[in-house]
Amino acid sequence: MKNILFLSGDSAIGSKLNNLNLNTLSIQGYKFIHNEDSPISPSNITSTFLNRKICEDKQLKILSKLVFVYNAAKSKPKSESLAIVLRTSILGPYKLRDLKSIKSIFQHLIKPINMASIIIAICGLLKITINPLIFIQKKILGKFNFFFDYLNLLNINTVVLFSSGYDNLVHLINYHSKINNHKFILVINNWDNPSSKCFMTENFDLILLWNPQQIQHVCKLNYISKEKLIVIGSQTADLAYSKYKLTTARTTDNTKVTQKKLLYIGQQNHYDEIHDIINIQNYISTNESKYEKLFYKPHPLSKMKIKRIESNFEELKFVSIIQSTEIDLRDFDGIIALPTTLILEVILSRVPSVIYTPTNKQFRRDPRTMWKYEHFKDLKAVQAIEVVKDFDELSRFLKFGLPEQIPFNKNSLNYIFPEYSNNYLDRLKEVFEKNI
């Protein structure tokens, strides 16, 4: 019997893992363990407990960040994404523009972790080995020997880790010396992870990827055998293709008079998209416009935007806020999307759309900067959706209507968002049967 343990790098990914319904995963000769609550003598330890014990450890978080900064600095010339992430990580979210921003940057820089990050980044840029960091890492990782003891107690053959690549569990597996008795499989959680967040070592036996584009990104930033990289797609793509197949296309009742609906899709950073929403709502309320009703979908992980919605309730009272993950983009007559993974679903919807990339004087990472990320390059090359850079340009589309999309070449789309005939769990089964 081969025992396989599933773990997630953080709680957000854990919820995605639960949505996979792993209870239905069954292969003869395999036992799948996830969030189990069976007692392990001598103490009642579960995989959930271990996940929390490791992922929330503060020392390991600090170590993980410092090593990431070093690796990002070493690899900075290879990826514009890493250059952006590195600047934000070291200097903080604010641009240097006034006394208030100078104070914020100074307060950020004098924190010990950020002062250490600057020194380590310089060493990374100069490719200088940091022996004290290696020594500290060895000491800290020694605290987590219990994790591997636990795997031995349960006779775990393989650990399958769902992760974005920058959490404590990935760091532990990347650099711990006691991994030899087990196989470790890393399942990449999102489109941008290998080019902006994830460094991997040969300690991982397999790395399961979203798309063929990620093979290029992994090989560019990591010294890892290409044979370890397997593209299995994503549950995100499976759900999107299922939703937007031609056979499930929605029909409209032309006898009914309906409001023209406009959707704004937000992203996860400090950029003030609430200001955009208020401006767009004011425009369609006071000017001639193709659209009559504005909807706003904030990024599900952007807690700051949710708070700002609450504090701007009066100005947003005519805007419909969508916080549900269940959304059909064909319900809308136009879509304004900031650079985000949901653009891939926008492409499948074929709804008239623009990618909105305004810049901002206050924040280091704004939509214009995010649009420079490596994983968007192949999407930009196709030019399927028009890019709008400022509100003046956007207002013309608000008046006359957003442009139709240019049909995306199927092979080009499969390179970044592959479609499969079988489901995600079936593809996982194939990997286990062939490689474990």
In tens, the pLDDT along 148-179 reads 888 888 888 999 999 988 899 999 999 998 77
Question: How far is it, in rounded angstroms, from Cα 411 to Cα 394?
Answer: 30
Question: How far is it, in rounded angstroms, from Cα 297 to Cα 319?
Answer: 10
Please give the single-letter amino acid code of residue 190: N
Distances (CA, A) of 48 to 5, 9, 388: 11, 11, 45
Tokens representing 96 are 């240097």
The pLDDT of residue 254 is 47
User: What's this model's pTM, rounded to 2 decimal places?
Assistant: 0.90
Distances (CA, A) of 28 to 1, 160, 206: 9, 18, 21
pLDDT above 80 for 313:
no
Q: How confident is the model at residue 388 (pLDDT cuts 50, 70, 90)?
A: very high
Count other Cβ atoms within 10 Å, centred on residue 77.
Answer: 10
The pLDDT of residue 44 is 45
Question: How far is it, in rounded angstroms, from Cα 129 to Cα 133?
Answer: 9
Domain with CATH 3.40.50 in the chain: 243-416
Q: What 3 state SS string does 50-115 have?
A: HHHHHHCCHHHHHHHHHHHHHHHHHHHHHCHHHHHHHHHHHHCCECCCCHHHHHHHHHHHCCHHHH
Domain 243-416 in CATH 3.40.1620? The answer is no
Question: How far is it, in rounded angstroms, from Cα 147 to Cα 65?
Answer: 21
Minimum mean pLDDT range among 287-296, 299-308, 422-431? 299-308
pLDDT above 50 for 139:
yes
- Angle (CA) 234-239-241 rounded to 5° is 95
pLDDT above 50 for 41:
no
Q: How confident is the model at residue 42 (pLDDT cuts 50, 70, 90)?
A: very low
- Residue 397 C-alpha from the chain's centroid: 29
Which of 28-32, 125-129, 180-184 shows the highest mean pLDDT?
125-129
Rounded mean pLDDT, 237-247: 85
Tokens representing 409 are 């070449």
Minimum mean pLDDT range among 82-86, 146-150, 342-346? 146-150
Minimum mean pLDDT range among 32-46, 70-84, 215-229, 416-430? 32-46
